[in-house]
Chains A and B, each alone.
Chain A
Amino acid sequence: MDSPKAAPTGARPLSPHLQIYRPMLSMMMSIVHRITGGALYFGTALIAIWLVAAASGPSAFATVQGIYGSIPGLLVLFFYTWALIHHALGGVRHLIWDTGHGFEPRERELLYRLTLGGSVALTLLIWTVGYLVRGGAG
């Protein structure tokens, strides 16, 4: 007979999961918060590599700067920036919720829109400033 600890096998009824619900902003933002967190997790290796290259010497640093400055490298860094800002703003939203505020439907929707809009706006701002700094440095 089945032991009570056995993993569910066959056609056992399951509780409703993601595919049964109409996508809503609240659930999409929750999912995106987790996905950006996961992406940032692996992205920290890129920062560690950059720091280790800087500690290794000019030639290693130039190699890594070259890879990160290539078109695919810049694309990864651009989305890394967006993921970082989005996850940070999402974290602020969670900290607000932790105080017991911001749970009313209108407040929730506003917080989601501020997270999403803010992450896109700040990412574009950071990259614009980055290009201005680069231009200024010659």
Chain B
Amino acid sequence: MRTPLGHVRGLGAAKAGTEHFWMQRMTAVANLPLTLLFVAVVVALSGSSHAGATAMLGSPWIAIPMLLLTLSVTFHMRIGMQVIIEDYVHDELLKPIAIMANSFFAVAVGLASVFALLKISFGV
């Protein structure tokens, strides 16, 4: 027996189901406390010297939440921008290109931040 669900599954704009919705919420919840800490770190480092900034960012108490934030934010922003692209880009060639570019940007920003944080932690 073939239910009507089988005719539509995978045919939406995203070609996928509710996992994005759930990941968007989960990363949103993770982002809230981590962002609070991030804002506090940036405020504390306002006008700081290089030595002061690397000392704070390299401390495990700061570096580990900053790494978690990077992971959560880049995931959250990637699926968020994907929804925006799916809403406004309808060209069947342009849409996958935009979705790819979105992933490239999110991964590049995330990896650069992780690399920088680890380098600061393990010694400049």
Task: Please provide the 8 A-B residue pairs with the shortest distance between their CB atoms, ordered closest to farther.
Answer: A51-B116, A55-B116, A58-B50, A55-B119, A134-B47, A61-B50, A130-B46, A48-B112
Q: Which residues of A contact B35 (CB under 8 A)?
A: 84, 88
Provide the B19-37 mask, 1 if CB < 8 A to any CB of A, else 0.
Answer: 0000001001101100100
> How near does chain B come to A16, taking the closest CB pair, in angstroms?
17
Q: What A residues does B28 contact at CB under 8 A?
A: 91, 94-95
- 15 new A-B contacts at CB < 8 Å, known A41-B81, A44-B74: A44-B113, A47-B113, A51-B112, A51-B116, A51-B117, A52-B112, A54-B50, A55-B115, A56-B124, A58-B50, A88-B32, A91-B28, A95-B25, A95-B28, A126-B39
When A48-B113, A51-B57, A54-B53 are in contact, do A69 and B77 touch as well, CB less than 8 Å?
A: no
Q: How many chain A residues have a CB neighbour from B under 8 Å?
A: 36
Q: Is the CB of A137 within 8 A of B48?
A: yes
Q: Which residues of A contact B46 (CB under 8 A)?
A: 130-131, 133-134, 137
Interface residues of A (CB under 8 A from B): 7, 34, 37-38, 40-41, 44-45, 47-48, 51-52, 54-58, 61-62, 65, 69, 81, 84, 88, 91-92, 94-95, 98, 126, 129-131, 133-134, 137
Give the residue of B39, B47, B57, B109 whose beta carbon is less than 8 angstroms from that of A54: B57
Inside 8 A of B119's CB, which chain A residues have their CB? 55
- Cross-chain pairs A/B with CB under 8 angstroms, 16 sampled: A7-B90, A38-B81, A41-B80, A44-B73, A51-B113, A52-B112, A55-B115, A55-B119, A56-B124, A57-B50, A57-B124, A84-B39, A126-B39, A130-B43, A134-B46, A137-B48
Q: How far, in whole Å, are A56 and B50 apart by their CA atoms in the complex? A: 10
Please tell me if the beta carbons of A137 and B116 are within 8 angstroms of each other in the complex: no
Evaluate contact between A95 and B109: CB separation under 8 angstroms: no
Q: Which residue of chain A is the closest to B54 with respect to CB atoms?
A: A54
Partner of A61, one of B42, B43, B53, B77: B53
